[in-house]
Amino acid sequence: MSANLINGNEISKAVNAETAAEVAEIVAKYGVRPALAVILVGEDPASQVYVSRKDKKCAELGIRSEKIVLPADTTEAELLAIIAKLNADPSIHGILVQSPVPKQIDEQKVVLAIDPAKDVDCFHPFNVGRMMLGDFSGFLPCTPWGVTVLLERSGVVTRGKNAVVLGRSNIVGKPMAAMLAAKAPFGDATVTVCHSHTRDLAAVTLQADIIVAALGIPRFLKGDQVKEGAVIIDVGINRIPDPTAKNGCRLVGDVDFDSVVEKASLITPVPGGVGPMTIAMLMKNTLRACRAALKTA
């Protein structure tokens, strides 16, 4: 068996087209344009790329983007003051602080400072708790939400399936497991979360109908750990040295693609799989924030 690719680029285009149409409808009906404020502290090259991509996607979809770039020596108090100002600005619907922040800033304080009604990353305990309790009408974690959309639009049925999530991070692993297990169209799976202390990992993954790899370890999942016909979602984005590449490195996922592709029925590539969906769902959350603000205005 050789897997079919789940094309995140194509599916994200469809999602973004739906978002753009909704944005145009809101502007025409209410005269309000959804707006996202993105704060970048410091000059981390990867963060600069991510912020630029978000800024560009906002422009493509008709969402107003306010990019705030701060020096690396910005104090925690200065950053929190900027967040407070954005919280109070009714024209801003979503606020995102690009991670990581410099060491002098407590990232958890930043998360708690953002108004839950503008927390489009879905990191605030209020929004995380709401999602964990099964309320999916508000913000959802962008990457796990993107994974569920990839599965749904690829015709993958999760109900009654065995799903394994590799990784237990607050950003991907934990919310991903909760969403797959939830009483929802994208859920009803029997979910196992694996991590660095899992014994006999292959014994677990070989029972999985669906595997979501989100460990941050290049090419971790091998073909002999995957059963025939499994659906593989690779969340990992890792740069590894490659002397044949123009910049001396290339992107790979947490899945050893070459060996796993021969066993899986469906698999996401890296790049071009989950990555485009994360930004697409961020735009969806910004749209949800705007709609919620219009109802409470």
Catalytic, 242? Answer no
Catalytic, 104? Answer no
E strands, the chain, are 4-5, 35-41, 64-70, 94-97, 162-166, 190-194, 210-213, 231-234, 238-241, 249-252, 266-267
Q: Minimal CA–CA distance to 182: which of 220, 126, 243, 137?
A: 137
Which residue in the list 98, 118, 174, 256 is annotated as catalytic? 98
Q: How far apart are the first and last CA of the chain?
A: 55
Which residue in the list 54, 118, 161, 174 is annotated as catalytic? 54
Q: What is the DSSP letter of 116?
A: G
Q: Minimal CA–CA distance to 99: which of 58, 64, 55, 48?
A: 48
Catalytic, 108? Answer no
Which residue in the list 57, 118, 119, 121 is annotated as catalytic? 121
What's the Cα-to-Cα distance from 148 to each of 126, 189, 208, 210, 274, rounded to whole Å? 21, 12, 16, 11, 10
Q: Which two tokens stand for residue 206?
A: 């070989």
- The catalytic residue positions are 54, 98, 121
